[in-house]
Amino acid sequence: MTNICVDVEGSDLGREELSLGCINFVKENKDTKLTVVGNKEKLGDIFKGYEDQIEVVHASDVLPMHIDVNKVLHSKESSMVKGIYLSKQDNIDAFVTAGSSGGFLLASTVLIQRLKGIKRPAFCGPFFTKVKGKKTVILDIGASNENSVEDLVSFAKLGRAYAQLILNIENPSLYILSNGAEEGKGIDVVVKTYDALKEMNFPNFKGNVEARDVLDGEHDVIITQGFDGNILLKSVEGTAKLMNDMIKQAFKKNFLTKLGYLLAKSGFKEMKETLDYKKAGGAMLLGLKKVCVKAHGNSDRESFYYALKVAKQMVDMKVIDKFKQEFENDGQ
């Protein structure tokens, strides 16, 4: 029986929305229990009828979006910190939250602890690409700002292991995000990481990739320092949103364009599915001794459902055990 600890507080759309995602999830996953952390009074009887799969643990506080680093760990009554404390226990397999990224990162890193050899965990998001069904693993997309060469090399190992275990790619290709494809291009840490990976003969290391080629479906794993990965992620999201709005606008122009939409709708269905970020569920925080998933702050029930699904899949694939093997055998 899988047991996932879920923080239902601190999201944009509120605890009810996330709770409905939890209910949909347990309905379809009879082998899974959820330990939901949240305000028990305010949740009321929302989980009535699902008591065999959902247990609620009361937390009176919510971690604010912007919180002083020093205060996070003292917020023991917040749903986030309480949930992460619970997730340290052996009977809990994963932790999922849609709350404050910063608080999540800090509390989970300190409380759950890092895998041997990992100095900094990384947010990892499988990006959609132009090739149907093909995802590209990009990390770090925002857990850190600046990273060292050592950090980036450990991101390469985490990304490779993730692509192998979860995406079933036998020998994933590895790239570094830079401002030119040629060797020697980029900021200092990029150039030095290139050299380090080359020097250590990192398996299937292919060099640099430019941001404009990231979505072409030809890259399995791309590493980047957190600040740049975050710019990449948000530029892609922002541009995709802008163009989606423009497409809607274009079809709404007049009677004829509306009619055109009805006829062309089937063609756009596939595009919509490819770009549907809800199914991504959220970003995994890789490098810790427990499965940790950060759902979007504005998750609705559907996207939260997918965040739970990502966590479950990682538990089922025994990703943490395999990561431990991987990094322990590595002699680091």
Residues that bind a second copy (CB under 8 A): 66, 130, 142, 145-146, 177, 179, 182, 186-188, 210-216, 226-228, 230-243, 245-247, 249-254, 256-257, 259-268, 270-271, 274-275
- Minimum CB distance to a second copy smaller for 108 or for 230: 230
Taking a C-beta distance cutoff of 8 angstroms, is the pair 145, 101 a contact?
A: no
The structure tokens 């950090």 sit at: 151
CB of 1 to a second copy, least distance (A): 38
> Is residue 116 packed enough to be buried (19+ CB in 10 Å), middle (13-18) or exposed (0-12)?
middle
CB of 93 to a second copy, least distance (A): 30
Determine how many CB atoms are found less than 10 A away from the CB of residue 248.
Answer: 10
* Distance set, CA 232 to CA 212, 214, 235 (Å): 10, 9, 5
- Minimum CB distance to a second copy smaller for 71 or for 234: 234
CB of 175 to a second copy, least distance (A): 13
- Minimum CB distance to a second copy smaller for 207 or for 260: 260
What DSSP character marks residue 165? H
CB of 253 to a second copy, least distance (A): 4
CB of 215 to a second copy, least distance (A): 5
Question: Nearest to residue 28, comparing CAs of 273, 277, 313, 270?
Answer: 313
Question: Nearest to residue 209, comparing CAs of 226, 185, 233?
Answer: 185
- Minimum CB distance to a second copy smaller for 77 or for 237: 237
CB of 278 to a second copy, least distance (A): 16
- Minimum CB distance to a second copy smaller for 40 or for 253: 253
Q: Which amino acid is at 248?
A: K
Say how far apart CA 94 and CA 159 lie, in whole Å. Answer: 19
Say how far apart CA 17 and CA 299 lie, in whole Å. Answer: 8
What DSSP character marks residue 213? G
- Minimum CB distance to a second copy smaller for 73 or for 247: 247
- Minimum CB distance to a second copy smaller for 165 or for 231: 231
Say how far apart CA 227 and CA 138 lie, in whole Å. Answer: 13
> Is the link from the previous residue into 140 a cis peptide, with omega within 30 of 0?
yes
Taking a C-beta distance cutoff of 8 angstroms, is the pair 262, 289 a contact?
A: no
CB of 262 to a second copy, least distance (A): 7
CB of 69 to a second copy, least distance (A): 11
- Minimum CB distance to a second copy smaller for 77 or for 216: 216
Question: Nearest to residue 41, comparing CAs of 7, 15, 73?
Answer: 15
